Amino acid sequence: MTRAKIVGVGAYAPKHILTNAELAKLVETTDEWIVQRTGIRERHVADDSEATSDLAVRAAQQALERANLGPEEVDFIVVGTTTPDMVFPTTANFVQHKLGARRAGSVDVLAACTGSIYSLSIGSQYIQSGKYRTVLCIGAETLSRITDFTDRGTCVLLADGAGAVVLQAAEDGAGVLDADLYSDGKYWEYLYQPAGGSRHPATAETVAGRLHYAKMKGNEVFKVAVRMFGDCAATILERNGFRAADLDLFIPHQANLRIIEAAVKRLGLPMERVLVNVDRYGNTGAASVYVALEEAWALGRIAPGDLLLLAAFGGGFTWGAALVRW
């Protein structure tokens, strides 16, 4: 059976690090509150010259190098992002051009923080169908650009970064075993950016009203996220005949340590089998699962044959999970 095997991983975090202490100078918060309620200690923030595609290209180049592939071998590029360079053309278009991926078609997928799972699922379907041989899946965000640094409910969470995987057709049993995608638009008001689209195009009023920044009902997001996270993880395991005990590593979306811990408890997994890096990266949206996967790989926490579960949730609401045999 042909599967989409992950043959290269890459990640990129902007150089500038924003600490909790620095945020405490901008809004009424403390390092202690942020660490206790979110687990976050610091996050990376892009500088003025960096747009989302710049971060994406760095992660993609590393993933391609590690896969020993050149950009001209890429057939298709999927970029998960909530913070595109421009409304159009797509960020994937910029990535395709900057990489020199001459043969590749490209598309953006906007599934908020679930952009990693959505892009992985789309990429793996193209491989499994036989349409493409090499697909680059990327999650990249500059969430700092839609963060209101006067809103303590969001500015302590959101961050910038990019991660990428190269998928290639393989017959050796390794690869994406399954991926489930979900959405429920009735929750849209829990997490959204009001202005800048066709509903509220940019005007002096929308700018004055700070409507181009992400708005979040954090508490509501928290409750729904814990439930959906746990449910989709349990569903994909069961349908594929696995138990949580079969997992070698769980790589969850890094939004809040307490959400990860609650989901892990529901799954009945020991924390030693969970990759957590939210303390150093914050919530990098569509990038987070790929950034965490790259860290797991670089630390030698993944070996051939390992069973991995990736799961994410985000604005929309969107959520999803993927099972990967390494």
- Our answer to whether residue 253 is catalytic in this structure is yes
Long-range contacts of 145-149 (CB under 8 A, 24+ apart): 145/46, 145/83, 146/82, 146/83, 146/193, 146/212, 146/213, 146/214, 147/213, 147/214, 148/210, 148/213, 148/214, 149/26, 149/27
Specify the residue, 26 or 299, whose C-beta has the smaller distance to ligand UT7: 26
Specify the residue, 180 or 306, whose C-beta has the smaller distance to ligand UT7: 180
- 255 near ligand UT7, rule: CB under 6 A: yes
- 193 near ligand UT7, rule: CB under 6 A: no
Cβ 247 vs Cβ 264: under 8 Å: no
For residue 201, whether the previous peptide bond is cis, meaning omega lies within 30 degrees of 0, is: no
What are the start-end ranges of the H helices in 179-244?
204-208, 218-239
- 194 near ligand UT7, rule: CB under 6 A: no
Specify the residue, 96 or 284, whose C-beta has the smaller distance to ligand UT7: 284
- Our answer to whether residue 97 is catalytic in this structure is no
- 314 near ligand UT7, rule: CB under 6 A: yes
Catalytic choice (113, 137, 155, 232): 113
Binders of ligand UT7 in range 95-154 (CB under 6 A): 113, 152-153
Binders of ligand UT7 in range 14-33 (CB under 6 A): 29, 33
Would you call 59 exposed, middle or buried from its count of C-beta atoms within 10 A (0-12, 13-18, 19+)? buried
Catalytic choice (93, 155, 232, 253): 253
Size of the site for ligand UT7 (CB under 6 A): 22
Cα distances (Å, whole numbers) of residue 301 to 26, 296, 306: 37, 5, 10
Binders of ligand UT7 in range 276-295 (CB under 6 A): 283
Phi, psi for 35 (deg, rounded to 5): -65, -45
Contact pick of 4, 6, 7, 38 for ligand UT7 (by CB under 6 A): 38
Binding site for ligand UT7 (CB under 6 A): 29, 33-34, 37-38, 113, 152-153, 156-157, 191, 216, 218-219, 221-222, 225, 255-256, 259, 283, 314
